[in-house]
Amino acid sequence: EIVLTQSPGTLSLSPGERATLSCRASQSLSISYLAWYQQKPGQAPRLLIYRTSSRATGIPDRFSGSGSGTDFTLTISRLEPEDFAVYYCHQCSSSPLTFGGGTRVEIK
Amino acid sequence: QVQLVESGGGVIQPGGSLRVSCAASGVTFSTSGMHWVRQAPGKGLEWVAFIRFDGTYEDYADSVKGRFTISRDNSKTTVFLQMNSLRVEDTAVYYCALKGGDNYKWGYFEYWGQGTLVTVSS
């Protein structure tokens, strides 16, 4: 099983600041198989990024993904009020499909 | 636009059975793989099961293998999750999700339903 470890667990930032979220895989992943999701309280998750760096439909360009091998990053260039949420990375390279434990981005 | 609507959740005693459903619209369902993903209260996301577009391949998390069965009815654009021998630890919101990535075996979760809550409690 591929374990995904996200850090930090919580990120406290102000609107307008840059957020950098990390996801580390227990084994090397092709960039094709890493995705990121956003979840707000009481809502279903929403796909943000797939194939490491491709933005899903309707996702603003302040969200970007990068990485390779075992280290992947989601960057939010300038936080908007609606970006404060929990973010999960996910691998679909092998079964069982797994998620990281999540990073909560909260208002400082 | 793509819509996924889950139903069938509720309160069930340990050891009981329940079937949840997910009706899809706005998508060519017969060519789309489908997943179930769950989230226990206050916890993270856990993938549960996947079914290929034509129903010929299924895959499960170890935690539900042998107890849960995923199926689909392409004529009704609906995917199901039959849950047997339910345990307290199966308590969660169950989301269905549409497989993204045409050339992927499992793919990512491109669209999500709003979820249905299953509570296993005596």
Of B48, B23, B50, the residue nearest B35 (C-alpha):
B50
pLDDT at A40: 97
**Torsion over CA: B38, B43, B45, B50 (sign):** negative
| pLDDT for res A68 | 96
Q: Cβ separation of A97 and B114 shorter than 8 Å? A: no
User: What are the backbone angles phi and psi of residue B29, rounded to the nearest 5°?
Assistant: -60, -35
Mean pLDDT of B35-62: 97
pLDDT tens digits for A25-55?
A: 999 999 899 999 999 999 999 999 999 999 9
Q: Tell me, what's the pLDDT at A9?
A: 97
Distance, in Å, from the CA atom of B93 to the CA atom of B67, rounded to the nearest integer, reads 17
Residue B103: the pLDDT is 84
Q: Whose structure tokens read 């005596």? A: B122
Does residue B102 register a pLDDT over 90? no
* A49: closest CA of chain B, how far (Å): 10
pLDDT recorded at residue A95: 93
Q: Across the interface, do A99 and B106 touch by the CB < 8 Å criterion?
A: no
